[in-house]
Amino acid sequence: MTYNSKKFLKNQSGFTLIELIVVAAIIALLAGLVVPQFIKQEEKATAKATKAQIELFGTALDTFRLDVGRYPTSQEGLQALTQKPGGVERWDGPYLKKEVPPDPWNKPYIYKSPGEHGPYDIISYGADGVPGGDGTGRDITSWER
C-alpha cells in the first residue's frame, strides 16, 4: 500500500450512532404509514372474497331449485349442494365442485330457508363470529349488495 492509500483509508469513517438512529426512525415512520394501508386492503379483499363465495352459493342454490323444485331446507343446509338429501328425487348434483368451505375466518356460513330477506339467507358473521359488528366483525350477507 502506498502512502496515499493509507491516508485515504484513515480518512474513511462509518456512520455515527445519530445517523443510524435517524435512519431507523425514518424506516419506522414509513412502516407505520404503509402497514395500516396494507391491512385495510387485506380486510377489503377478504370481504370481497366472502361476498363472491356467497354469490356462488346463490347460483348453486338456484340450480338446485330448478332441479328439485325448492331450495334446500335449513336442516338440509348448504350440504344439500354437494350431497343428496334424503327423500329428494330429482337431485342432479353435486352443484358445487368441492365441499362447502368455511368462511375466510374459518367459521361456517349460516344458511336459513325460508329466509327473513328472501327464499334463503346466507350469512357470514365476520371475524368476530357474532351477529352485528363493524370493520372485520361486520356481517356479510346474501341480501346486501
Distance separating alpha carbons of residues 38 and 3, to the nearest angstrom? 54
CA atoms in the 13 A half-sphere facing the CB of 134: 0
Tens digit of each residue's pLDDT (9 = 90 or more) over 102-142: 999 999 999 999 999 999 999 999 888 888 878 777 899 99
Residue 135 makes CB contacts below 8 A (sequence gap 6+) with 43
For position 6, what pLDDT does the model report?
56
What is d(CA 68, CA 92) in angstroms, rounded to the nearest whole number? 8
Across residues 32-55, what is the average pLDDT?
A: 82
pLDDT of residue 72: 95
Percent of the chain with pLDDT over 90: 47
**Upper half-sphere CA count for residue 82 (Cβ side, 13 Å):** 10
Q: Structurally, what CATH architecture does the domain formed by 16-141 represent? A: 2-Layer Sandwich (3.30)
Whole-number Å distance between alpha carbons of 28 and 89: 64
Statement: residue 79 has pLDDT above 80: yes
pLDDT band at 36 (very low <50, low <70, confident <90, very high): confident
pLDDT digits (tens, 9 = 90+) for 1-29: 555 555 555 555 677 888 888 888 888 88
Burial of 17-46, coded b for 16+ CB within 10 Å and e otherwise, reads eeeeeeeeeeeeeeeeeeeeeeeeeeeeeb
126 backbone φψ class: left, alpha, beta (φ>0; ψ -120 to 50): left
